[in-house]
Amino acid sequence: MDNFSYLSVLISIVLGLGITQILSGFGRWVENRATFPAYAPSIVWAVLLLIMHVQTWWSMYGLRQHERWTFLQFFVVLLQPIVLYLLSSLVLPSQSCAVADLKSNYSAQRRWFFGLLMALLAVSVVRDVVLTGALPSNENLAFHGLFLVLAVGGLITASEWVHRCIALLSAGTIGLYITFLFYLLN
């Protein structure tokens, strides 16, 4: 077994836990749909996080060629799935959550959610620097910059209209990001 095959097991476990968190939240929502009204930004972000988990797993395949791993490199790589998991735990209410609807949960978690989203963007850039000694490509940085602007907007405003726009713009951005930078497995 090569080094990355060994290390990727823990990455896959954390990503799997995040996906489980999202799917469990969707299951609770569907089960309680009569008393658990839908809220578009919550649903959009939950779907986006599911896609982001899969995209992260997909992009990790490119690390198979990295041969000499240090603990710092692996830790920074592992931080990305960890932050994704934390985002997943906030996007939909948990079973033990006192908040019973998606809109209230979104409002209650908004600052932490968008703060963690900014942390995810930082970890993504730092990962490339730690692994390669260089920043990501200009195209990749441009998408990170756009996501950062959207995350800051989500952090600083509570306007429902703005959050609906941010969710839709983020959906389009992640679609373009995957299409242009991660369409093919390499």
Instruction: Answer yes or no: is pLDDT of 186 > 70.
Output: no
Residue spans of alpha helices (H) in the chain:
3-31, 40-60, 71-91, 102-132, 138-156, 160-181
User: For residue 129, which amino acid is it?
Assistant: V
Query: Under 8 Å CB-to-CB from 180, ≥6 apart: which residues?
Result: 139
pLDDT at 151: 98
CA distances from 110 to 48, 64, 103, 154, 160 (A): 16, 35, 10, 7, 11
pLDDT 10s digits, 43-85: 999 999 999 999 999 999 999 999 899 999 999 999 999 999 9
What pLDDT, in 10s, does the model give residues 134-150? 999 999 999 999 999 99
Average pLDDT value for residue range 19-45: 92
What is the average pLDDT value for the chain, to the nearest integer?
94
Q: Is the per-residue pLDDT at 160 higher than 70?
A: yes
Sorting pLDDT into bands at 50, 70 and 90, what band is 168? very high
Distance from C-alpha of 28 to C-alpha of 30, rounded to nearest angstrom: 6
Name the pLDDT band for 36 (thresholds 50, 70, 90).
confident
The number of angstroms, rounded, from the C-alpha of 36 to the middle of its chain's C-alpha atoms is 24
> In degrees, to the nearest 5, what angle opens at C-alpha 117 toward C-alphas 31 and 90?
25
What is the spatial distance between Cα 143 and Cα 8, in angstroms, rounded to a whole number? 25
Cα(52)–Cα(48) distance, integer angstroms: 6
**CA–CA dist 170, 164 (Å, integer):** 10
pTM (two decimals): 0.94
pLDDT in tens, 79-118: 999 999 999 999 999 877 766 689 999 999 999 999 999 9
Q: What is the mean pLDDT of residues 142-169?
A: 98
